[in-house]
Chains A and B, each alone.
Chain A
């Protein structure tokens, strides 16, 4: 029941909108089935399946809007939910920034649904965990991991002629391996659309290897280092930059994208000329929903930064109207162009540097410069003359992704990483003068 077809979804949406007595109405029907398995200390701790289906209805009277939801779809229930939304709309205060509902949108076709993920069984989940635990036992390390697989659909429609349907699958796996003596820790992840392409054993072997090799870490002096940040390490810093980028806050003077004297920095070269960040829902590596969550505006390929120049910032329809600019919807994925080198190749070409597996507990220190602090975790190594020389203690960093993207030495091949329900293609980056400000004893 959770995953409805395009025609089943459309039928329900058409019906509920017919009940509308409001000036305008919109509806979104979405369903998901999510399975998970969690294990720690080489033993499964919890597993479960959650099914969810929900119809969200919005009714509009002028600048008033009301939202109601329901999870049953009889005629009576559909009429009731629309009446409820209308009642809530009438009670709500005017929203001076309310924008009229969008008319028909042209949504790009996206293939994001994989049969293998759709048909995953509890036994397959158990086997995925067992493969990981087996990899741990082979290296005499202890595994803690989490696999979550999701099948979803979403359909949107409104009284102005808009309709869209999108179905997707995804599976995200993360694993931490620790040596029994507590001196070594390794981590790896896998994020896919098609579960058949996921190999939790192989991913776990990387984490186990890192755990074993990270034992007896030596302490290096904090300071500025050339670093090779693996894709997951990069994504932690990039995520903050992307979520902080917004035309309105920039125009209001309270963003790292604000311009001295007023306005924003679109058109300025703020980054190394190789930096190319964009979104594209049809990218076969990270297929994603072809409309924005906020107002169902159609998404297409858009450059955020190209040749190091800021090309676009997300801009709400209200702010676009107010500033006489084009609205720019928030994206559903993120892609950073890279090169074709493997991380091993980047290491081979590095005279002295630090390899960072993963960044952790990142927080904004100063939104003005986008200075972030956080730590390295689960596999930090010293590189000398093209080889990993020895494991080193974790560092705390204080660095801005804006500075990081100005100090690029080289870029690896982009890999898919999960960014919390959002997938991205991110390369490993070799960056000079990355600021480590203190040492951590954490393993």
Chain B
């Protein structure tokens, strides 16, 4: 969720869409070439980290961690036949977190000299001491065994930052041209590239060097009908991924041919642009949906967001406890429901797990931002709520001894806190394809792609739209429909889950800028699933006329 965009904290990219877009990005504009510079080596970072650890210990810290981070971004933003903007940013600094007098303290600096970083370490201890006055109970930190000097890298094949800008621009121009030739009036296409070079060290004896890559290639295609004064859009079916530039190879083996072409581990953006233009045009002639109850067949490109909003967020422990009450909200999934061991979150077919290790996912790292080795754990087992998402200073509240490893900060200057890991729906065990699923539906709607989405602050009531809607009658798709949104209640919805396709249909979707906290921080997270069916869900018609 990201409801309030604070203009001061965001980089403004003018000229995109209606009023420019605001990107939650920090950093200083640099040349593209600078993005491929090596940066500070691990040995120098270790030396600086040791200065922090020693200084903080001497100042009275009982625990210290330091993150020396270099954050790189490149955005290439285009429309139709031209580039609107190219943005390269770099941000380099260190965030220091300590426990002193049983209380957290944090300070950050971009002065990465031994003196500068030692000063920040002493500041962090002073902040902890000052805050101790307001602390009700001391921080309890789940133990972590130091791992010594280790490293981890997103398994990329092609570093996107090493691909020349001109090649990226040419590629997007080809994408835009494909849409325009196929009948689009407008297309906005963008490449977002992110590289986080994070060096973490803690007084537990860990020195962790990580190189994290993410990529997203969204587009929106618009088809206008001037005569009727109406317009329709179709967004691209790419997913933000934890992969390199090879994601844009559009390998044939990664394509899923059905009602449209969908993509697994790589994406054919040119093909999708052409299809998007045709489908946006076709929306003008599509029938407006008759409201009522329908069985929904939800493609992973759509269902990922429903998982994110209705399972991912309500199971964040800090929300459950009330720490996010004034912003993101709290949660219906209260501790008593979990403790009962009987809370039926979904039908017995529903198995949902958290995972910070899935290859290609946005959340995949070797270690989280407090040095905990990442893992997979169950959240919902056979429909029953079994666990939450918690970090080192929280797991004791669940009578657990081990952090789940889902702590994250969006910058060296932000304080790390609990963030959503990849949360995914396990595929069905029996062989079952989307075609089989559609054949079994009498009256339904097949939904592809994410559209508008909204959910209440405790995550009960939600409404979701989509990109493409197809009406199903007696096991067959009878045509494209429009003006569709479904409304449901989280527990009702997941208990209405009657079938899930097998693992051959499993795909990862994701969201690039998920917001949480005050001041707000963003994070990127993936959600995997196969196509799934939900029975008798309330569908509304969203068509309105304004005079």
Contact = CB atoms under 8 A, between A and B. Distances in A.
Interface stretch (B211-219, B340-348, B453-461): B453-461
Highest count of chain A CB atoms <10 Å: which of B185, B228, B229, B544? B544
Interface string A242-275: 0111100100111110111110000000100000
Contact of A41 (B86, B233, B322, B454): B322
A330 B84 CA distance: 19
A182 to B, nearest CB: 8
Interface in A119-165: 122, 126, 142, 144-146, 148, 150, 152
Interface string B405-438: 0000000010100000000000000000000000
A421 B517 CA distance: 16
Contacts of B547: 270, 406
B519 A375 contact: no
Contacts of B12: 293
A366 B544 contact: yes
A365 interface: yes
Interface in A387-443: 394, 396, 398, 400, 402-403, 406, 420-422, 437-443
Question: Which label, helix, strand, loop or mixed, suits the secondary structure of the B interface?
Answer: loop
Contacts of B1: 361
A442 B544 contact: no
Interface residues of A, number: 94
A69 B28 contact: yes
A383 interface: no
Highest count of chain A CB atoms <10 Å: which of B18, B413, B540? B18
Given A144-B323, A360-B456, A440-B460, A95 B489 contact: no
Contacts of A40: 322-326
Interface stretch (A16-24, A42-50, A346-354): A42-50
A243 B461 contact: no
A174 interface: yes
B117 to A, nearest CB: 17
B6 A253 contact: no
Interface stretch (A4-12, A85-93, A102-110, A191-199): A85-93
A441 B479 CA distance: 35
Contacts, number: 214
A396 B456 contact: yes
Nearest to A394: B456
Given A361-B1, A369-B546, A441-B461, A261 B325 contact: no
B131 A438 contact: no
A69 B485 contact: no
Contacts of A69: 28-29
Given A43-B134, A294-B14, A442-B332, A95 B83 contact: yes
Contact of B131 (A47, A68, A368, A402): A47
A441 B131 contact: no
Contacts of A254: 185-186, 222, 224, 231, 233
A87 B329 CA distance: 47
Contacts of A377: 456-457
Contacts of A437: 487, 540
B489 to A, nearest CB: 7
B18 A258 contact: no
Contacts of A368: 230-231
B542 interface: yes
Nearest to B85: A95
A88 B29 contact: yes
A404 to B, nearest CB: 11
A92 B86 contact: yes
Contacts of A400: 544, 546
B229 A261 contact: yes
A214 interface: no
Given A254-B231, A364-B452, A178 B460 contact: no
B518 A36 contact: yes
Contacts of B15: 97, 316
Given A69-B29, A144-B323, A403-B544, A262 B461 contact: no
A175 B326 CA distance: 6
A441 B460 contact: yes
A362 interface: yes
Contact of A375 (B86, B230, B461): B461
A363 B106 CA distance: 35
Contacts of B293: none
A137 B261 CA distance: 58
Given A362-B3, A369-B544, A421-B7, A258 B229 contact: yes
A361 B228 contact: no
A150 B8 contact: yes
B169 interface: yes
Interface in A354-383: 360-371, 373-375, 377
Interface in B464-503: 465, 483, 485, 487, 489
B258 interface: no
Contacts of A396: 454, 456, 461, 463, 487
B82 interface: yes
A91 B30 CA distance: 12
B452 A38 contact: no
Contacts of B455: 361
Given A142-B322, A176-B325, A369 B545 contact: yes
Contacts of A96: 82
A187 B84 CA distance: 41
A146 B326 contact: yes
B330 interface: yes
Contacts of A420: 4-7
Given A40-B325, A370-B546, A403-B546, 7 more contacts: A38-B518, A175-B326, A246-B19, A254-B231, A396-B461, A442-B460, A442-B461
A-B interface, 5 closest residue pairs, ranked by CB to CB distance from nearest: A260-B229, A440-B461, A144-B325, A442-B456, A442-B458
Interface of A: 32, 34, 36, 38, 40-41, 43-48, 50, 67-70, 87-88, 91-93, 95-97, 122, 126, 142, 144-146, 148, 150, 152, 174-176, 178, 182, 187, 243-246, 249, 252-256, 258-262, 270, 293-294, 314, 316, 330, 360-371, 373-375, 377, 394, 396, 398, 400, 402-403, 406, 420-422, 437-443
14 contacts: A40-B324, A43-B136, A48-B127, A68-B29, A87-B31, A122-B130, A144-B323, A243-B18, A256-B546, A377-B457, A420-B4, A438-B463, A442-B332, A442-B457
